[in-house]
Amino acid sequence: MIRGGNKHPTSARGGLAAAEVRGASARAQWIREGLVVLGPQLAQAWGIPQEALATTSASGEVVSIHIDNCQYYPAALLSIDRLTAGAICRALRNLHDTERVMFWLRDHGALGGRNVALALKAGTPTARVNALAEAWARERTYARSLNDEDVVESRERRS
């Protein structure tokens, strides 16, 4: 049984609809807190045209997320050069946009409890951050594949 007495985790607190509302609320908070920025701001910081940024985003060279029909980028990218950011973002390429953005927003124990931008600024080698990004992506991809196998296995048992 799950804490609170609910036997079915999917029905806890409104299920999928409530999760979508919480996600939208979190993304709106990222904007309010300045954790994500619009493309023109990042393009200006990197000294590139907005079209070039859009192309790199579409190819997975840079992390972005759509929020309210606008493309946002982690504000952490403002303080990192394009080549370093690109190398780290490529390691996250196979993840969902939200997972990729979360990597940039959160503090990582492997980086001394700092987020990526602060760790790099403090002198953490880019190779160490790349290795963390690769591990982050591998862990999430593996977990997703396990969930998919569980669903298939569950269906097979019912047949």
Q: Say how far apart CA 63 and CA 20 lie, in whole Å.
A: 21
Q: Say how far apart CA 113 and CA 107 lie, in whole Å.
A: 5
Whole-prediction pTM:
0.78
Categorize the per-residue pLDDT at 138 as very low, low, confident or very high, splitting at 50, 70 and 90.
very high
Residue linked to tokens 């807190």: 33
Q: Parallel, antiparallel, or unpaired: how do β-strands 70-74 and 36-38 relate? A: antiparallel
Is 66:57 a contact under the CB 8 Å cutoff?
no
- Check pLDDT > 60 for residue 148: no
Close Cβ partners of 35 (under 8 Å, ≥ 6 residues apart): 74, 75, 105
Residue linked to tokens 């990192």: 80
If you ran DSSP here, which 8-state letter would residue 65 be given?
Answer: E
User: pLDDT tens across 92-125, in order?
Assistant: 988 999 999 999 999 999 999 999 999 999 999 9
- Lookup: tokens for 29: 């908070």
What average pLDDT does the structure give for the chain? Answer: 85
pLDDT at 142: 74
Categorize the per-residue pLDDT at 10 as very low, low, confident or very high, splitting at 50, 70 and 90.
very low
- Check pLDDT > 90 for residue 11: no
Among 78-92, 108-122, 145-159, the minimum mean pLDDT is found in 145-159
User: pLDDT tens across 49-76, in order?
Assistant: 999 999 998 888 899 999 999 999 999 9
Q: Say how far apart CA 123 and CA 114 lie, in whole Å.
A: 12
Q: Say how far apart CA 83 and CA 89 lie, in whole Å.
A: 10
